[in-house]
Structure 1
Amino acid sequence: MEQEEKATRAWVLHPELTSDLNRRTAGPALDEAVSLAAALPHLEVAGSEIVRLRDPHPGKLFSKGKLDDLSQRLKLAEVDLVLIDGPVSPVQQRNLEKEWNVKILDRTGLILEIFSDRARTREGVLQVEMAALSYQRTRLVRAWTHLERQRGGLGFVGGPGETQIEADRRAIDDHMNRLRKQLEKVVKTRELHRAARAKVPFPIVALVGYTNAGKSTLFNRMTGAKVLAKDMLFATLDPTMRQIELPALGKTPGQGGGRKVILSDTVGFISDLPTQLVAAFRATLEEVLAADLILHVRDISHEGTDEQAQDVATIMAELGVNEETPQLEIWNKLDLLDDDDADARRKEASRSDHILTLSAITGEGFDDLVSAIDAALDEPRRTEVLQLAFSEGKKRAWLFEKGIVEDEEPGEEGWSVTVTWTERQSAEYAAI
């Protein structure tokens, strides 16, 4: 009988820099950091706190008094790992580890660890490892046994990476080059798949939003799929796509009967996303860049929902999302608000054509969402006269099936058909 792996006891610190006027609200920020820690298996959060400081100490982040005060609590709690919700320099990390005799992981390292644990596709695994190598390149004396790991995780939090092994830049660079070559092959395969999808003349609708906003629950309701949907940060990492028919009004989700679209569920965004991951996951988020419509899903019950929305907008701008791409803002999780707050949100949203209120759990607002997607995807139409030979009966039948024929006149060699259609329908017709 295998012995159960002992949980790593962790303490979460959120440094609140009082000199930073643009800092995040400390309470929700600490809650999020604790949720990030809880998203890792085999990790037990023993405690958490906000540490106020005017300016970070260049060598040890915290002042001498704070260091001693924290040291006592960490020893009493028998902590193995301290998660610091912010950037920690290599020098600060090394000094803090010596001071407290524990492992230190900053926000970037924690997010990388979660992504590594969650990655499932070949590209996702390679992207995470590339980002981790880039991050660790500045921290040369660290754990590197995870490069040969057989399970998820980067080894920062125990397991195979427990032993400290020196890795010089040459070893890291060689490994990054090998990964880069593997990634190039995977990306070429993705490009082929994307080219194949481009020939399918259905619009792409991409779900984006802050992590844990309820995108996967909404995706499941719209598709009838069973994508992992948990009350957990980064429950979805690799993109999930489905070709679906939007449910016709009055029908239950999954029945179809309406417009055909490709729906894409994406990794959740988060504030202070590591720059390595913004670059590494650009390919993973290509469906957002190519989307015909973006649904920005917000957890409207969250205390920091406005800050989260701003973070999503910032990351989409960094990714290069076209500002002209139509967007709908979905205020989700109405079911978590009390009746008065929910009514206030409904009234506020009703003042905008681009905001909808919804509960992906109960289904409230679902029909309105389908109607709004339909309206947003209505494309400009043009009228055109086509000349079809009598032998092109298949094309003629397709035109009538789509209901886009305005007039038809037979001639000596075929039909003269007047149609009113969209660019997408024109492309679909050309592919017949």
Structure 2
Amino acid sequence: MGSKQSNCLEGLDVYIVGGAVRDRLLGLPEGDKDWVVVGAEPEDMTARGFIPVGGDFPVFLHPQTKEEYALARTERKSGRGYQGFTFYTGKDVRLEDDLKRRDLTINAMAQDRDGNIIDPLNGQADLQARLFRHVGEAFIEDPVRILRVARFAARFSQFSLADETRQLCREMVDNGEVDALVPERVWKEVSRGMLYEKPSRMFNLLADVNALPRVMPQLVWNQRIAALLDAAHGCGLPLPSRFAILCLDSPDVEGLSRHLRVPNDCLDYARLLQIARAEIGVLAQWQPDNCLERADRIVGIIERCDGIRKPERFMDLVIACACVQTVSEAEADKGGVGVLASVWRMCLDRARETDAGAIAREHVGQPRLIKDAVRQARVESVYEYLVQS
């Protein structure tokens, strides 16, 4: 069995395709490799020990590396939306036929096992020109391609969109094809794009082709939010914080979150950032007469945002608030963010160190006094820190 698995590629016509080839030519880490097999049938693959995992078309896992190997295929439109396709994977499908069904020329290149590049659609030229260009007119048949191009814009910030490809994206919006996108797929692409260097470019592109109001109708998008979102990347904020910043100017956060079916933590961050930002903003402008008043206000914010139970989430919110407050156009003051975060971390730690159990034992039979006593102990602990600092 081991010998059979080790020789499972012998005699197969296989190629690395898509993003790994693109990234190699750009000098970037290649990441996971996708392979295409030409001239084979499903029975050939399983006989060699490959594990079938494909649903709509034959995809197999290498028995040792677990990398994906897909049979070369063509496709034709058979229904509405991005799932409305019929695939053909006969042995007569050529590599060039498979590459022609892909979205962008920069993703339609292949590499053989000797390292040679197969580039029938001039993807290398578009790489050098830093241009997103569609492969063919079939681009308009799959609305997911709008989302993918937008995500690529966030990742590859030096690339621009070819005019003719922009027009095809707009046609997909005009003819209603974009309305076939399901929330889960929109969120999958958008959430990935928000983690790249320039997430604003993704939303700007979607707005430019008129898709943004269709896929995220509750979102209020403007260049202030664009600058804040890019600054969030510079501050290294996690995805839930970035989503919360994206929602800052949108009055219907609940509706937007339901529409996209975002994870619960993203919705929680979006709700709480509104509260934390208002409270911390007031505290930053407020000049109390003494540190005790300030400590009381700080503990109130921590408790209102459930920071005692979920300290890391609370600190994410603090850093997001600091990022928003210190942003200047599209760049955050990382030094100022760090200083503010360290102060709040110390205050949070002081508040959480309070032994609520011991206080409760001191007030046996007086349950109404316990909450106030715990709160007072937290305030005093934070006060001691403020005085010392």
Relative to the length of structure 2, the TM-score reads 0.27
Task: Give 1 or 2: higher helix fraction.
Answer: 2
Structure having the higher strand fraction is: 1
Give the structure-1-normalised TM-score: 0.25
